[in-house]
Amino acid sequence: MSRLGDALGTPPIVRRGPSCGIAIEYDRTDDADGVALLAAINGTEWNANALSERLRSLGIVISTASIRRHRLRQCLCRDLRPELTANV
């Protein structure tokens, strides 16, 4: 490889964007509610739409898109908060 090629190599992966909605709400809850939230988010019992609606009825606003992104490990939690995606 050339000197320039060696110097440039593969660019580092820098994940940018807003924090994951799951992480934001998790940080707002107490321990027991946080465990319940993660169990529902990371579980298979609820589809994303139904879970988003149910959480909204309880005063917790997490979009369907945030739930899907989190479940697919495409949110910032993958790199910054791996403990929140351990069971996904």
Please give the residue that has the higher pLDDT: either 46 or 18.
Answer: 46
Give pLDDT tens digits for 36-77: 999 999 899 999 999 999 999 999 999 999 999 999 888 888
pLDDT of residue 55: 96
pLDDT of residue 67: 95
String of DSSP letters for 28-44:
HS-HHHHHHHHHHHHSS
Percentage of residues in the chain having pLDDT higher than 70: 89
d(CA 17, CA 25): 17
